[in-house]
Homo-oligomer: A and B are copies of this chain.
Amino acid sequence: MTITLTAFERSPDRGRGLARDMRVRWALEEVGQPYDVRLLSFAAMKDPAHLALHPFGQIPTYQEDDLVLFESGAIILHVATRYPGLLPDEGNARARAIGWMFAALNTVEPPIVERGMASIVESDAPWYAARLPMLDERVRGRLSQLSARLGDADWLDGAFSAGDLLMVTVLRRLSASTLLNDYPNLGAYIARGEARPAYQRAFADQRAVFTRAAGAN
């Protein structure tokens, strides 16, 4: 059985590991499963051939024999269900870890993406400066609540899980801002994630794609 992911041929994050293939690479490294990567240009992502795999024309996709999945959360949950290492065995702990996966993607990530999109698409608009404090405040609200829950624990609920993996990748999207500065326990949490050998292998692999593409310029 071969696992094949899709990823950006030239990631807009310039190899900082913020694209959503990074999460899936990390998960596969945690469970020790090899995978192939098929790189896509932005144009190819809107081709009918890719839309047949991913109706929203994004990356990553996951192919494993005749199974095709999209949505990084769903892919990681599938990997975590199939291979040990990313979810607790005990039923209640497992349900709570999956809860943190949804919290990362549906509660913490949306205000971070909204703020990030505004800084890309609307930074020249006359209202950008007036709206930014509101966007920051929405992110800060979530960070405060997350920081309070994490406290001085290493991970969100017991041992490292797919919920932590997703939360760390979501929080890393703020690394170019100063918003995390007020939450040292979240900074240390991200650093713990980044220190994992599986993270480092995944990061190096996605970075090599950018470096090769830049070298080909």
Q: Which residues of A contact B (CB under 8 A)?
A: 51, 55-58, 66-75, 77-78, 81, 92, 95-96, 98-99, 101-103, 105-107, 109-110, 113-114, 121-122, 125-127, 130-131, 134, 142, 145-146, 148-149
A55, B146: Cβ atoms under 8 Å? yes
- Indicate which residue in B51, B98, B105, B109 contacts A77 across the interface (CB closer than 8 Å): B98
Residues of B within 8 A of A96 (CB): 67-69
Residues of B within 8 A of A99 (CB): 69-71, 74-75
Q: Is the contact region of chain A dominated by helix, strand, or loop, or is it mixed?
A: helix
- In the docked arrangement, what's the CA distance between A74 and B98, Å? 6
- Indicate which residue in B81, B106, B113 contacts A71 across the interface (CB closer than 8 Å): B106
B67, A92: Cβ atoms under 8 Å? yes
- In the docked arrangement, what's the CA distance between A73 and B166, Å? 15
Copies of the chain in the assembly: 2
B103, A70: Cβ atoms under 8 Å? yes
A103, B145: Cβ atoms under 8 Å? no
Using A67-B95, A95-B78, A142-B56 as known contacts, say yes or no to A102 and B73 having CB atoms under 8 A apart: yes
A107, B56: Cβ atoms under 8 Å? yes
- In the docked arrangement, what's the CA distance between A102 and B148, Å? 26
6 A-B pairs with CB atoms under 8 Å apart are A55-B103, A55-B149, A58-B107, A73-B102, A110-B113, A125-B127
A71, B126: Cβ atoms under 8 Å? no
Residues of B within 8 A of A122 (CB): 131
A98, B78: Cβ atoms under 8 Å? yes
Smallest CB separation, A96 vs chain B (Å): 7
Residues of B within 8 A of A95 (CB): 67, 69, 74, 78, 81
In the complex, which residue of chain B has the Cβ closest to the Cβ of A98? B74
- In the docked arrangement, what's the CA distance between A75 and B78, Å? 17
Most buried by B among A58, A95, A96, A98: A95
- In the docked arrangement, what's the CA distance between A96 and B69, Å? 6
Smallest CB separation, A86 vs chain B (Å): 15
In the complex, which residue of chain B has the Cβ closest to the Cβ of A103? B71
